[in-house]
């Protein structure tokens, strides 16, 4: 990026953070652990016994909602910005992620829709909770302990789906960083902020191109070493690559400085994938299928070369002695 890194970035991207949690419904039982240790003549500290208080599938709907929006929208359309942090309860909270402005509405809507669905499931679960507790008496038998079960309102507080947006400060605009400190101290703060943002952008740049190269090389390797019994490839590998390529122009234009090597590889990768009408046509042990696999693998490998040679070669990444 240019010397006006923060100005460009603050105009073209936003930060976003998704924090989720749900009640696991699992509780360790020291009494049962002691009983098992005695029965098996084992040391109690060497064993772990836990109970599914309301059935082992009680949280599968919450997991599904969270995983779907994370894997299908949140992760593919955003980039890691800060490392994960920990909240006051010691729970892991997702770090901030960088989202190009042109993708922000799509990401925000998907998260809001998932949040609505999530809390509908919370309401349904809380309505059903008293009956689940009653059912547990039968399922757990003598292992049932009424003290294991929080009040329904306490249960509700154990669910969270928070979406937080944040603007990126523009250190070139004094109105963005206004502090009641001396001019020299404010300048030091602005310089530190600028330095941190530059470092994060550099990390985003390298992470993005390395991840794309890894995706492409993984597919090419599977194609070149195909064995219907041992080495195979999934349609989802191609779907994920197409998804990455779909958002790459936005990321490159808004965040990575419109790098020409990325643009070149993107165009060639899109062209290579366009030749594949049906991924299933690449499977099979016949000579025709093998020829197709080798051809696609070669196209993909050549398409990623501009990034490998023009970017990673200079960054010192992807130590490939071709």
Query: Is the per-residue pLDDT at 191 higher than 80?
Result: no
Where are the chain's structural domains? 5-166, 183-315
pLDDT at site 3: 45
Query: Is the per-residue pLDDT at 243 higher than 60?
Result: yes
Helix then strand count (H, E) for the chain reads 11, 8
| CA separation, residue 65 to residues 24, 62, 68, 114, 221 (Å) | 15, 5, 5, 6, 33
pLDDT at site 89: 44
pLDDT at site 180: 62
Q: What is the mean pLDDT of residues 180-197?
A: 72
Q: What is the pLDDT of residues 20-31, one digit of tens each?
A: 999 999 999 999
- Tell me the whole-structure pTM to 2 decimals: 0.78
E strands, 56-209, where?
79-80, 85-86, 92-93, 97-100, 160-166
Between CA 59 and CA 66, with CA 63 as vertex, the angle to 5 degrees is 140
Query: Is the per-residue pLDDT at 175 higher than 70?
Result: no
Least confident of 127-141, 193-207, 209-223, 255-269: 193-207
Burial of 14 (0-12, 13-18, 19+ CB in 10 A): buried
Q: What is the pLDDT of residues 302-319, one digit of tens each?
A: 999 999 998 887 766 554
* Eight-state DSSP code of residue 255: T
Query: Is the per-residue pLDDT at 1 higher than 50?
Result: no
Rounded (10°) CA dihedral 297, 303, 304, 308: 120
Q: Which are the contacts of 116, defined by CB distance < 8 A and separation ≥ 6?
A: none
CA–CA separation, 250 and 12 (whole Å): 10
pLDDT at site 295: 95
Q: What is the mean pLDDT of residues 129-156?
A: 94
pLDDT band at 58 (very low <50, low <70, confident <90, very high): confident
pLDDT at site 221: 94
CA–CA separation, 217 and 202 (whole Å): 23
């Amino acid at each position: 990026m240019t010397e006006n890194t923060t100005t460009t970035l603050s105009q073209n991207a936003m930060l976003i953070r998704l924090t989720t949690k749900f009640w696991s419904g699992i509780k360790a039982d020291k009494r049962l652990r002691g009983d098992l240790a005695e029965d098996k003549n084992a040391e109690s500290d060497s064993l772990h016994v836990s109970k599914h208080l309301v059935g082992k599938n009680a949280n599968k709907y919450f997991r599904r909602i969270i995983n779907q929006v994370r894997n299908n929208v949140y992760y593919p359309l955003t980039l890691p910005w800060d490392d994960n942090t920990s909240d006051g309860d010691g729970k892991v909270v997702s770090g901030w992620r960088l989202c190009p402005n042109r993708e922000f509405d799509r990401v925000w809507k998907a998260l809001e829709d998932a949040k609505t669905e999530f809390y509908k499931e919370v309401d349904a679960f809380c309505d059903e909770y008293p009956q689940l507790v009653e059912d547990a008496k039968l399922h757990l038998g003598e292992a049932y302990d009424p003290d294991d079960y929080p009040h329904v309102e306490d249960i509700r507080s154990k669910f969270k789906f928070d979406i937080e947006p944040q603007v990126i400060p523009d250190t070139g605009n004094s109105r963005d960083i206004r502090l009641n400190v001396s001019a020299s101290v404010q300048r030091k703060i602005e310089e530190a902020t600028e330095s941190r943002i530059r470092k994060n952008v550099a990390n985003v740049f390298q992470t993005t191109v390395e991840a794309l190269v890894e995706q492409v090389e993984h597919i090419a390797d599977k194609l070149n070493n195909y064995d219907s019994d041992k080495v195979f490839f999934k349609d989802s590998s191609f779907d994920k690559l197409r998804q990455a390529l779909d958002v790459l122009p936005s990321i490159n234009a808004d965040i990575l400085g419109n790098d020409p090597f990325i643009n070149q590889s993107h165009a060639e990768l899109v062209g290579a994938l366009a030749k594949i009408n049906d991924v299933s046509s690449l499977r099979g042990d016949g000579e025709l299928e093998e020829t197709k696999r080798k051809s696609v693998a070669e196209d993909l490998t050549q398409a990623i070369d501009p990034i490998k040679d023009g970017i990673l070669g200079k960054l010192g990444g992807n130590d490939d002695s071709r």
